[in-house]
Amino acid sequence: MSEILFDRIALIGIGLIGSSIARDIKKYGLARDVVISTRSAETLKRAEELELGTAYTTSAAEAVKDADLVIVSVPVGASEAVAEQIAPHLKAGAIVTDVGSTKASVIAQMAPHMPENVHFIPGHPLAGTEKSGPDAGFSGLFKGRWCIFTPLPGTDQTALERLSTFWKALGSMIDEMDPQHHDKVLAIVSHLPHIIAYNIVGTADDLEAVTESEVIKYSASGFRDFTRLAASDPTMWRDVCLHNKDAILEMLARFSEDLAYLQRAIRWGEGDKLFELFSRTRTIRRSIVQAGQDVDSPDFGRHALDK
């Protein structure tokens, strides 16, 4: 048990991220009341069955009443609609944050609706899986992972510290950057890899020479690692692509150029160029392991198969 950090927390959206937050709040005793809100009665019922909160409603407006901390965990394209619904009902002094994977767009959608007497602090925990919905969440998802804030100019430092304390209680490490920078960094470390994975798996699916059964049967090779990313939630990733368009297009252009270089080296048998690139990229993998952001084992999430 940690100490109670907020009297009442409202969680708007209770999928993978929202329900993982809910589980940690409960585990560490971080709030007296946790009001859960989601748009569908079906998801709400599931959240209640899982005992993720202390009160449940399909009305986001209802949920935020008297809440000291409001965490919005919905697809980024739904941010403005949610902001509109909750804005008139927010408690003076409340902290409103989100977990969206893109930041400039979320700020543009939410900030204009936020009353002056609340602290709106956009955030993004860099943690997740390819699963979605309240059953997919788990306690410990954020442990050892970064949570990035993109505070607006003039953000109240005490509110920022309270929110940092909350995420630290979930095991996160905190960083701050401006929203445009965040969107560029995430375009390369997260958005581009997902788009590449969707593309490779889509290409394999389209290939007539390779039957679907062969793709599945021989998937022990590199393909399998891409299928995990390509199984990610279609709504979430559609929204990420639409709401981080500029940074993603910039990274895709660079990626295409580098791919053409690789293509040329293969065509002309330039083994030294291939070897140089493959050696350089291997070092990056080692650095990620050294930074504690992955384990040095060859199985990317395949553990369950061995059990």
What residues line the site for ligand NAP (CB under 6 A)? Answer: 13-18, 38-40, 43, 73-76, 78, 81-82, 99-101, 125, 128-129, 132-133, 233, 236, 240
Task: Dig out the tokens for 49 from the structure.
Answer: 């069955």
| Cα dihedral sign, 268-271-275-278 | positive
The CB-of-245 to ligand NAP minimum distance in angstroms stands at 15
Pick 24 or 233: Cβ nearer ligand NAP: 233
Pick 135 or 270: Cβ nearer ligand NAP: 135
Q: Report the 10 Å Cβ neighbour count for 112.
A: 11
119 in helix, strand or coil? strand
The CB-of-54 to ligand NAP minimum distance in angstroms stands at 17
Pick 152 or 231: Cβ nearer ligand NAP: 231
270 in helix, strand or coil? coil
Q: Report the 10 Å Cβ neighbour count for 293.
A: 13
Q: Report the 10 Å Cβ neighbour count for 10.
A: 32
Q: Report the 10 Å Cβ neighbour count for 13.
A: 25
The CB-of-272 to ligand NAP minimum distance in angstroms stands at 38
Task: Dig out the tokens for 254 from the structure.
Answer: 């660079």
Q: Edge-to-edge strands of the sheet including 69-72?
A: 55-57, 31-37, 6-12, 69-72, 95-98, 119-121
Pick 42 or 205: Cβ nearer ligand NAP: 42
The CB-of-59 to ligand NAP minimum distance in angstroms stands at 12
Q: Are 14 and 134 in contact (CB under 8 A)?
A: yes
Pick 73 or 150: Cβ nearer ligand NAP: 73
The CB-of-3 to ligand NAP minimum distance in angstroms stands at 26
Task: Kindly report each contact of residues 272-280 with a partner whose C-beta sits within 8 Å and lies 24 or more positions away, as own/partner.
Answer: none
What single-letter amino acid sits at 14? I
The CB-of-12 to ligand NAP minimum distance in angstroms stands at 8
The CB-of-39 to ligand NAP minimum distance in angstroms stands at 4
Alpha helices in 73-132 (DSSP H): 79-86, 104-110
Residue 125: which of 168, 80, 67, 159 has the closest Cα? 168
Pick 29 or 234: Cβ nearer ligand NAP: 234
Pick 8 or 191: Cβ nearer ligand NAP: 191
